[in-house]
Chains A and B, each alone.
Chain A
């Protein structure tokens, strides 16, 4: 009998929220003063990860900011949607940082997982996971860890964390709740004419 925790039905289904904090108001220059660029996409500093363009920023409470930046990249590598901005992936993994702030064992799982990915990247001649240039190389690294608790925790969490965001629905062409709009009876339930 199996009672494993591979179950993809989390008990709670929080709607992903776009990250927002006072950090969001800072310019790239201000953020850079407090941190450094990591890879090509992220600025990382004490307690925050931001886009290299400063278009978004998240506070990091439980994890090392470097680890959080790696998680955002890992999230994209697991479910790569080129139309999705990094902020959607950051929102999808934000819950892990919050949990890590309260649960040392969980923090250890994530820190160790990212450290393992970094060493795997180094063995392959890259500076670390984030600075492994090609997606296919990063995916090869992830595949070697596919069975690990670390990978399954991140991937399983993303199924809801990423795809339950209304901003993602819009990008994928799903219109969501319809009752308040009177359903689709006058809004195109049978509007296709190409068949």
Chain B
């Protein structure tokens, strides 16, 4: 029933990318009867194709096209061409994601108001409030089947969670549970319950975890209003001399460059590719790239303050058995400057298999200290620390001198930690290590951030057109029929994993686009 649209059909909405933002938006628009062409750089992989094997799965799904890095973050040294862990496939990073689905807190939408001036930080309040977004959070949680919402029970806690919970109790933390997870604890929406495979990061072979690849996309296709073109790598967005966007140029699997005409273009390639596309679309009319009158395209890149702590115990934990991230402590996510930093962080269970542990525990490390840790793999518990990082104008995506396989300049990702990020990470390490110590850890390992899984802020929302790239609906300030539909819109990052908010914004944006189309404003 997939709708085939003509490349010259200029009545369609073109969406670039089919991940959390693009995939959701595509289905929402299709459900409303709007014609959509979604262009996806990667191929289509479904649960039967996923591999319970870390490296082969990474090769199958991850974005490994060239990128470069700079800045003082350790990723630039250890993984110079892999700044971020992002999926290139239909479904985007929702194929690899862990499913943790949290709402941002009220004060996090108004970071500038609550945190005040922070030196070196480019803080701003969102043009959207929690109250405005709440009805859409409700819809997103229902759509994604988030546990502990809509009467859906929590997932059973695995071994890794049991250790976290025991430590939380010892530490006096009050809010610790097996998470709000977009993973079925019971059969729902035609998808089975989780069987605790432990390969959530490799694509859920059960289909128990929500991913646009096998929920939103096929639902949209069933309406007959959505065409997904896979292996269609977008190079740039075209515009006319009135300054409206008119279509998108992509290269297909056979190497043909094709222009798909469009009435509306929505960019949802994740926070590194989305600004890159707009920068690569520079023209004589828009010399600095599309939608860039503010100069903020590609700026204010955020990746969340992250780090991990692994604790070693006298007895086996087997943390890798079962759901990768179904466990959370939210007590530290409050804004409490008495800890020496603004904003807060979450503590979430995390496990890696042996292949990834070897690559990420201490990149570059070797010798007995390293292997002593690996030798205790079986007795390890793990947690991920994820908190709000400061938007800084100097952090971001620019065009590199290096070119990709299509001859287009690749993204350089620059990142320096803000002192607030460092203070928060040190606090989080201390608490995480104390937690494992409180349940008898014989060793703890404060582990550095991995290549970024949460990428945000490079095309941010702002009330004032001079401060950001898009308005509260993700519509660009400069070009009315150009939208941003992914995590790039985030004005600030909050402490919470971003995807539930990306999905909620996409549902809300679909309503707005439909209304604007009806009113003929776009």
Contacts and interface: CB of A to CB of B under 8 A. Distances in A.
Interface in B124-160: 156-159
Interface stretch (B211-219, B361-369, B485-493): B361-369
Interface centre among B198, B353, B366, by most chain A C-beta atoms within 10 angstroms, is B366
A7 B171 CA distance: 39
Interface string B39-57: 0000000000001110110
A134 interface: no
Contacts of A13: 55-56, 58-59
B318 to A, nearest CB: 7
Chain A, interface SS category: loop
B195 A182 contact: yes
A12 B59 contact: yes
B197 A194 contact: no
Interface in A149-191: 155, 159-160, 162-164, 168-169, 172-180, 182-185, 187-191
Interface stretch (A46-54, A79-87, A101-109): A79-87
Contacts of A9: 58, 64, 79, 81-82, 359
B331 interface: no
Contacts of A4: 80
Interface string A60-97: 00000000000000000011110100000000000000
A183 B198 contact: yes
B358 A159 contact: yes
Contacts of A123: none
Contact of B80 (A2, A81, A162, A192): A2
Contacts of B241: none
Given A4-B80, A11-B64, A78-B367, A163 B321 contact: no
Contacts of A139: 367
Contacts of A172: 354, 374-375, 377-378
A179 B166 CA distance: 29
Interface string B392-435: 00000000111000000000100000000000000000000000
Given A6-B77, A177-B53, A188-B321, A168 B354 contact: yes
Contacts of A178: 52, 197-199, 321
B315 A194 contact: yes
Interface stretch (B1-9, B68-76, B271-279, B454-462): B68-76
B341 to A, nearest CB: 29
Interface residues of A, number: 47
A81 B376 CA distance: 11
A82 B425 CA distance: 34
Given A3-B80, A80-B371, A183-B196, A175 B358 contact: no
A146 B81 CA distance: 21
A8 interface: yes
A173 B377 contact: yes
B316 interface: yes
A192 B316 contact: yes
Contacts of B161: 190
A7 B81 contact: yes
B53 A174 contact: no
A2 B374 contact: no
Given A172-B378, A176-B52, 19 more contacts: A2-B70, A3-B81, A6-B78, A8-B359, A9-B81, A11-B59, A79-B366, A79-B371, A81-B374, A139-B367, A164-B55, A168-B354, A172-B375, A173-B316, A173-B378, A175-B318, A177-B51, A179-B197, A195-B162
A-B pairs with lowest CB-CB distance, top 5? A173-B378, A183-B195, A13-B55, A189-B322, A163-B358
